[in-house]
Structure formats: C-alpha cells, structure tokens
C-alpha cells in the first residue's frame, strides 16, 4: 500500500540520500525555502531528491528536520534524517517560495526467505569491508541491524558506490532486487581491494627491502672506512682503476665519461649495473699487452714439423710470416699493427687432416697465446659483433671475448668451421665477419657492446673449412686461401707411426715394449680398413687394436705370444727379453713341456704369460676384423656402360661410378642419383656429343635412339658439378659399343658439345682418391697439368696421369678392345 503527502522538495546534487541516513546539508536559497516551507506547514518533513540535469527525479526520501543552525563558517545549515522512500508525483501548491509535490510513500513488504538470506549475506560482506578498515564501532551498529530494508539501505554510506549506483538503489523499491545488485557490487569491490592490497604489500616490501639494503650499505661503507678499506664497487674506485690502467687515450676518455655517469646515477638504477659491467669488460681487455714473437725461424719450423706431418704449404706460410716480422724488427722498422698488416688465412680441406690442431701448433711456434672460436652453427650476428648495452644480459661478441681470454692483443685466433656459419632473421654472422677478417679494416673493429675501436691487426686469424662453396665470396676474398688436401698412404703410415700410435699407447696405459704395430699393418689399415682423406678413422682403428691388445695382456689370452710347450724355446731370445737371467736354466716337465721356464734368479714363471704383443699382417684381422674396403673398380666396370669418375666432396676426394643403360622405347634421357642442375646439363651435353659422333665411332646413328638411363649410385648423396662430363661420355660410348671400360682407368673433366675437355678443380684430392681406390691410369684435362706440381711424387709414381684435350683420346684408351678369335682358335684383343 502507498499513502500520499504534499511536501516541499529539497534538491541535492551531493550526496544521494537513502532511507536511514542522517546528513548535514548547507542551505542555499532554494534549500532554505524548502526548510522554511516545511517548518511553516508544521509537518517538519521535507522531500529530499537528487538534482538531475535532464529533468526531475522519480524517487526521493522523506526526511525530518532534526536541527537548523549554522556551520563553522557562518553559512546556514540543517541536519536531516531520511526515513522513507517516496515516489515523486505531480506538483501542488503550498505556502512559501518552495516547490511542493505530491509524494507517494513506498510501503515496506514483508521479506521472504530469499530476501532474508540475501540480507544476511550482504550484512556479512559489509562487515568484511568494515573489518579491513578496522571500523569496529560501525561494525557493532551494523550487527545490531535486523530489518531487511535497513540493512539494504546501509549502502548509502558506501564510499565505493558511485552516485549513479546509489540513485539506482534509490529508484528500486523492491528490496530483493536492491540486495542482489548490492551483493554483486560489494563483491567486485572486495576483489579490487584484495588486488590493491596485494600490490601495495609488494610495493611496501620492495621499498622496505631497498631501504634495508641502503642502510646496510651505508653501515658497510662506514665499517670499511673505519678499517681503511675502500668500497670495491664504488664510482670512486672505478675512477681510480681507469686512471691507473694502461689504456689508449680514446678508451680512457670514454671510460672516464662512463664513470661520470655512474657517479651521477643512483645505486638502485639498473643503468648502474650496465655501466659497471661495461667498465669491468673494458678494464679486463689487454689493450696494450702483446706477447713477443719468436724470432728463431728454424726453431718455429721445427715445432711445426714435430707436431704435424706434411701440410708443407701452411708451414711455409707461417715461416714466411715470422721471417718478415723478424727482419723488420732487426732493421728497426715498425712491427706493430695497423692498416693492412694483419694476416688472415683460411685452411680448406677434408675432415681429419689436422686443420684445427694446426692452429695451436702455429701459436706455439710463434710464441703467442692461442684461442679457438667455434663458429659451426652460429646464426646470430650479435655472436660476432656483440649486443647493444641496453639489452638485458648483453655481452661483447666472440671476437672480443677471445682477445680477453687470450690476455694479449696479438694471439692466434682459430675460427673453426667457418663454412658452417648460418643466417636467419637474427642476421648473417658471415657478413659481420667481413670487418673482422679484412686486414684493411680490422685495425678499427667496433664491437656493438664496447662501442670502441679495437685493433685486431696484430691478431693472426686462421679459419678452417671443409668446402669453399658455402663461404660467401666477399668473405673468401678477404682471406688467404690455403688448401689442405688429403694424405697419401705413406703419409698416413708415417702419421700413425709417429703420432697416433704413441698417443693411443699413452691413453691405453701401454708402452712400446708391450705392444707394437708394424708398418705393414698400418699400411693395410690405411688401404683396406679406411677410405678417408684424413686420419681420424685410422686413429680409431689403432685405438681399437690397442684396446684389444691391452685386454689380452691383462687376461693372459695372447695366443700369438704364448710359447710352444713341445718346442724348446730360444734361451738367448728369452734372456734378451728379460724373461731369463744370464745364468738361467730351462726345465722340462712331461706335462707342461717347456712352458715351465725356470730362472735361477726369478724362479718358475707362469705358464703362457704374455709380456709383449705385435700387431702385424697375419693377426690384424684378430684385432680389427675383416677389411671394410677392397678395390672394386674391376668388378663395377666389368659390364658395358659403367665408367669410373673422380669427384670431390666435403670429406675429400672419392671415386664416382656412372652407369648407363638403354631400354626400348621413345627416344629420351632419364637421370637418377639426386643430381644438381649442372650435372643434369652435363648429361645432356654428353648424350648429344655421343649421338653426333656415332659414325666416327663406327656405329649406326640410330643405336642410341631409345630410352637412355644414366644413374649415379649412392642416390642418397646429392651430387652436382660439371667434372663428370667425360665419364658420362665414356659410359655412353661403352654402352653403345657393348664393350666395358677398363677397370683400372679413372677420369675427370668437363666436356663440351664438340668434345673439348675443360679444366676442373680438386685435381690433387681426386688423384689421392684414385690411388686409394687402386686405379692405375687417370685422365685429367690438359689445362689442369700445372696442378700436378702440388701432387705428391709417390702418387704420381703410382698413377699414370694423362692430360687430354679431347674426349676422343680418353675413349681410344679407356674402352676395352674387341676380343676376336685367332687362327689357332684362341682369342686375342683388337683395339677399336
């Protein structure tokens, strides 16, 4: 039910008044008129409604005038107590200058169970908010409230509710709806308060920690000052260190400028840490430290020869470098670095030939420090030039770190696997190396982290690579190229005898008196157990043999050294071995025979005890098993259409068999073996040449008018390059003639449409591969004849190397002659 009253209206902008609230208000002209009208009507009540910009409010509260007076400043004021919610009706007339309206009072409804439960929940939430504020007196007042309407209208005092939300509550007569909205709003407020409190707590803890650290640091400084010690990380300490350090003038000026920034920066500033790290890096670099080069050229060459077998070209280059520097020093000329004075070498060759270990030997020969920088797989340009100091965890690049690690400005820096440097979205490290490896630029190398000129002209850079193809052209042009080809069989035997066997004996706790490997066994290992340009696999096999020998020595299971019990041993030999003394006698036992050797001094020796082993040809299979590689060129080329070519891979030279076959069908060419575009074009050229010269060969022009299939075995290995041209021509001619190619003949060279043989690369590596494969005759392009000067003499002695300018010269020799019956019924060979 509702009841209506005529009441003067008092509009308020702030606050929004809900039932149950007691509020003081300052009276302006209109408010004074409303108060006067209410007092004149002797009702003592006034309708308090929110002032709206868009019109009149629809709801207000009926409030009684509790007190009228003045505020401290003298302004008139009144205290109002809001009692009931009322709906504002139409305007009416009344005494005084106030606005009178008809107000319909909203009667309270008896609450149901749901409303009561909502009121109880809201009451708990209000108490929780008040507990956070520690408003214990207000909590007591709220706990005493039992009326649902009164509990709901306590939201009028909530500071977290906006005026619009409070007005919404004023205009919602249904208490259940009001409580539902209020519960949602207060829950949101509590969640927000919890987050705010958590943030405030974290900030407070951080501030307390910083303040505690500050106080502790001040106390620490005071203690150090009393002890006469300076703070090691202070700006004053850095200034002293920079002033006392032996730095170039430009570096000193920049370092002092950074010290000034450190002095102005706060200890809590992250920039202070960056500056300290940068200053530590600058002070740790050996700006003026250089090691003195050895001036004894002969001693340096002796060191290189003692550490490595062969590699004459790189040894000569190192000796030349040292000889020039020693002469300049002897004549009082400038020896320090500068534009163009650096040396940058790149050693290109197959794995296992000693490229990496050569760098350390060069450093030892020159008397310099040695640092190795592995570049394989590096894809970030910042790895070379460093990161900007503004990045978190920034560091200088690998080149600067290498110089710092060496402790001198003229070390030998080995850039290992430079051909395996990659590039992606982070930049191209090979491009960053252009400045590092340019003797005309690296005297002013600038790292991103240091941002200072660093003189690298005194650094001897030695880069290693397996292939040149993946090294960018501009980078390769800045380096002095030295090819390190594979070893000959004699080289491998010498390396194994002088280097590998002694090293593996030491690693397996053996001595040369206990186990020895003959040169014949080493030669067989190099020829039949490995087929590599280097000696890594050979060293593994030597280690395997020595491990088995060590096992036999420990277990006594050495059949090759056990004495024959039925044969009298050689007493003199036993004396020489140390088994018997000079006055020893040999005792014979019917059961043990001569196994029981009696020495007057030492007494009986254990029967069958092994004291030394020899690895030789007759027992090599016991240690290493059967040979893995045997010459197979005779077998592979025993049918027409197969020829033996020579190729160069990342692992050195290798033989390449080319198979050609034909099948009935449309005239076409099929190529298999994972070939590149250049090799496919070479096959087209070879087939065109053969088809156009069939009459000269003595065959019908249409003999190859069918489906020709050329296959390169080892199809899983990618192949490319033009040097197999003459081999494809030979295979096609062999197929057309129906006569096989000589099994001991290999060939290499690019062919043109008119049959000319063009030069190719890797002659030395290909001839080494031919020798390893057991070939006897090798055809090379005539224009590659000067390359034979680099081939070892023993290889040239083992091979019949024939330079040719026309592919017809190869065909005349390489194709097997025709076998025809003789007069006596036997067969004899007739050349084509």
Tell whether 356 is in a known binding site.
yes
Q: Of 52, 78, 106, which one is at a domain's C-terminal end?
A: 106
Structural domain includes residue 207: no
What pTM was computed for the model?
0.59
Q: Of 72, 106, 140, which one is at a domain's C-terminal end?
A: 106
55 and 144 housed in the same domain: no
Domain with 264 in it: 235-284
- Distance (Å, rounded) from C-alpha 298 to C-alpha 295? 9
Single out the residue of 593, 611, 510, 595 nearest to residue 556, CA to CA: 611
Q: Give per-residue pLDDT as tens, 473-523.
A: 888 888 888 888 777 778 888 888 888 899 899 898 888 888 888 888 888
Kindly provide the residue ranges of all beta strands, DSSP E only, lying in 271-324, ordered along the sequence.
none
Query: If you search the block for the tokens 């194994």, which residue do you land on?
Result: 496
pLDDT value for 602: 42
* Three-state helix/strand/coil letters over 493-506: HHHHHHHHHHHHHH
379 and 468 housed in the same domain: yes
Structural domain includes residue 226: no
273 and 153 housed in the same domain: no
Tell whether 353 is in a known binding site.
yes
Tell whether 354 is in a known binding site.
yes
502-to-260, 510, 532, 613, 641 alpha-carbon distances in Å: 59, 9, 21, 15, 47
- Distance (Å, rounded) from C-alpha 436 to C-alpha 445? 7
784 and 683 housed in the same domain: yes
- Distance (Å, rounded) from C-alpha 525 to C-alpha 628? 10
Complete DSSP assignment for 607-624: TT----EEE-GGGHHHHH
Structural domain includes residue 217: no
693 and 754 housed in the same domain: yes
- Per residue in 36-58, is it b (16+ CB within 10 Å) or e — as a string? bbbbebebebbbbbbeeeeeebe
Q: Which helix (H) or strand (E) holds 38?
A: helix 29-40
- Tell me if residue 653 falls in helix, strand or coil: strand
316 and 460 housed in the same domain: yes
605 and 625 housed in the same domain: no
497 and 533 housed in the same domain: yes
796 and 650 housed in the same domain: yes
Tell whether 352 is in a known binding site.
yes
* Number of neighbouring beta carbons within 10 Å of residue 396: 24
Structural domain includes residue 81: yes
CATH number at residue 420: 3.40.50.300
461 and 550 housed in the same domain: no
Phi, psi of 340 (to 5 degrees): 80, 5
Residues marked active site are found at 723, 766
- Per residue in 583-622, is it b (16+ CB within 10 Å) or e — as a string? ebeeeeeeeebbbbbebeeeeebebeebeebebeeeebee
620 and 638 housed in the same domain: no
CATH number at residue 32: 2.30.130.40
Provide long-range contacts, Cβ within 8 A and 24+ apart, for 321-329. Answer: 321/460, 322/293, 322/294, 322/295, 322/297, 322/365, 322/366, 323/297, 325/293, 325/295, 326/293, 326/295, 326/297, 329/295
N- to C-terminal Cα separation, the chain:
131
- What residues in the chain have per-residue pLDDT under 70? 1-2, 54-55, 224, 228-236, 266-268, 332, 334-342, 424-425, 557-610, 630-632, 650, 818-832
- Distance (Å, rounded) from C-alpha 403 to C-alpha 436? 12
* Three-state helix/strand/coil letters over 144-199: HCCCHHHHHHHHHHCCCCCHHHHHHHHCCCCHHHHHHHHHHHHHHHHHHHHHHHHH
Gyration radius of the chain's alpha carbons: 50
CATH number at residue 552: 1.10.8.60
State the total domains in the chain. 7
Structural domain includes residue 623: yes
Structural domain includes residue 135: yes
Single out the residue of 251, 107, 111 nearest to residue 176, CA to CA: 111
Structural domain includes residue 289: no
Q: Of 140, 168, 194, which one is at a domain's C-terminal end?
A: 194
- Distance (Å, rounded) from C-alpha 87 to C-alpha 49? 10
Tell whether 786 is in a known binding site.
no
Query: If you search the block for the tokens 């030349």, which residue do you land on?
Result: 320
Tell whether 338 is in a known binding site.
no
Structural domain includes residue 504: yes
Tell whether 472 is in a known binding site.
no
């Amino acid at each position: 039910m509702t009841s209506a009253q005529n009441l003067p209206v008092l509009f308020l902008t702030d606050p929004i008044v809900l039932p149950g609230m007691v509020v003081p208000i300052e009276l302006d002209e209109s408010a004074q008129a409303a108060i006067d009208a209410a007092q004149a009507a002797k009702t003592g009540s006034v309708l308090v409604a929110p002032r709206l910009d868009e019109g009149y409010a629809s709801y207000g509260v009926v409030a009684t005038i509790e007190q009228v007076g003045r505020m401290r400043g003298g302004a008139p004021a009144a205290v109002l107590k809001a009692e009931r919610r009322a709906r504002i009706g139409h305007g009416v007339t009344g005494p005084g200058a106030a606005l009178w309206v008809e107000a319909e009072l909203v009667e309270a409804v008896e609450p149901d169970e749901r409303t009561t439960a909502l009121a109880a929940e809201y009451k708990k939430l209000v108490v929780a908010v008040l507990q956070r504020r520690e408003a214990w007196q207000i909590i007591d007042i709220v706990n005493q409230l039992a009326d649902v309407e009164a509990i709901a209208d306590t939201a009028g005092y909530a500071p977290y509710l906006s005026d619009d939300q409070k007005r919404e509550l004023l205009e919602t007569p249904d208490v259940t709806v009001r409580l539902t909205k209020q519960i949602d709003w207060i829950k949101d407020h509590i969640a927000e308060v919890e987050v705010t409190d958590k943030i405030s707590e974290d900030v407070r803890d951080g501030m307390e920690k910083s303040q505690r650290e500050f106080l502790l640091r001040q106390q620490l400084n005071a203690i150090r000052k009393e002890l006469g010690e300076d703070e090691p990380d202070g700006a004053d300490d850095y200034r002293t260190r920079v002033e006392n350090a032996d730095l170039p003038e430009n570096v000193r000026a920049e370092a002092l400028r950074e010290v000034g920034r450190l002095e102005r920066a706060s200890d809590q500033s992250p920039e202070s840490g960056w500056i300290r790290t940068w200053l530590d890096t600058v002070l740790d670099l050996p700006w003026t430290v250089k090691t003195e080069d050895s001036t004894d050229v002969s001693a340096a060459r002796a060191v290189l020869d003692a550490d490595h077998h062969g590699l004459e070209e790189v040894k000569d280059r190192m000796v030349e470098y040292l000889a020039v520097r020693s002469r300049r020093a002897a004549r009082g000329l400038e020896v320090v670095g500068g534009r163009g004075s650096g040396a940058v070498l790149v050693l290109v060759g197959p794995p296992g030939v000693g490229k990496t270990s050569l760098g350390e030997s060069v450093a030892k020969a020159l008397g310099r420090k040695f640092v190795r920088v592995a570049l394989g797989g590096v894809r970030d340009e910042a790895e070379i030039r460093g990161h900007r100091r503004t990045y978190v965890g920034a560091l200088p690049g690998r080149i600067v770190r290498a110089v710092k690690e060496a402790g001198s400005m003229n070390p030998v820096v080995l850039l290992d696997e430079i051909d395996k440097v990659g590039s992606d979205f982070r930049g191209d490290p090979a491009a960053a190396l252009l400045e590092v490896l340019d003797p005309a630029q690296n005297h002013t190398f600038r790292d991103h982290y240091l941002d200072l000129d660093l003189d690298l002209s005194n650094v001897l850079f030695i880069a290693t690579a397996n292939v040149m193809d993946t090294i960018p052209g501009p980078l390769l042009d800045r380096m002095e190229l030295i090819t390190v080809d594979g070893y000959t069989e004699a080289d491998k035997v010498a390396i194994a005898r002088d280097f590998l066997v002694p090293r593996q004996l030491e690693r397996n706790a053996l001595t040369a008196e206990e186990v020895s490997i003959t040169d014949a066994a080493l030669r067989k290992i190099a020829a039949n157990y490995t087929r590599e340009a280097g000696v890594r696999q050979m060293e593994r096999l030597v280690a395997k043999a020595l491990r088995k020998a060590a096992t036999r020595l420990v277990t006594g299971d050495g059949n090759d050294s056990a004495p024959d019990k039925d044969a009298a041993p050689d007493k003199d030999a036993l004396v020489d071995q140390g088994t018997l003394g000079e006055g020893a006698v040999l005792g014979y036992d019917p059961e043990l025979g001569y196994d029981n050797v009696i020495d007057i001094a030492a007494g009986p020796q254990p029967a069958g005890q092994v004291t030394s082993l020899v690895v030789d040809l007759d027992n090599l299979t016991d240690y290493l098993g059967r040979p893995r590689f045997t010459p197979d060129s005779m077998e592979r080329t025993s049918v027409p259409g197969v020829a033996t070519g020579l190729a160069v891979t990342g692992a050195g030279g290798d033989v390449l068999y080319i198979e050609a076959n034909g099948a009935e069908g449309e005239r076409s060419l099929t190529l298999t073996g994972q070939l590149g575009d250049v090799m496919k074009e070479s096959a087209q050229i070879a087939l065109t040449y053969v088809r156009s010269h069939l009459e000269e060969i003595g065959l019908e022009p249409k003999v190859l008018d069918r489906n020709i299939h050329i296959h390169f075995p080892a199809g899983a290995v990618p192949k490319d390059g033009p040097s197999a041209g003459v081999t494809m021509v030979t295979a096609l001619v062999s197929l057309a003639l129906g006569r096989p190619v000589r099994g001991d003949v290999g060939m290499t060279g690019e062919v043109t449409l008119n049959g000319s043989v063009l030069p190719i690369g890797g002659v030395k590596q290909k001839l080494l591969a031919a020798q390893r494969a057991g070939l006897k005759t090798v055809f090379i392009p005539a224009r590659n004849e000067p390359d034979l000067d680099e081939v070892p003499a023993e290889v040239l002695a083992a091979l019949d190397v024939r330079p040719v300018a026309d592919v017809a010269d190869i065909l005349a020799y390489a194709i097997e002659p025709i076998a025809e019956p003789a007069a006596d019924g036997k067969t004899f060979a007739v050349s084509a």
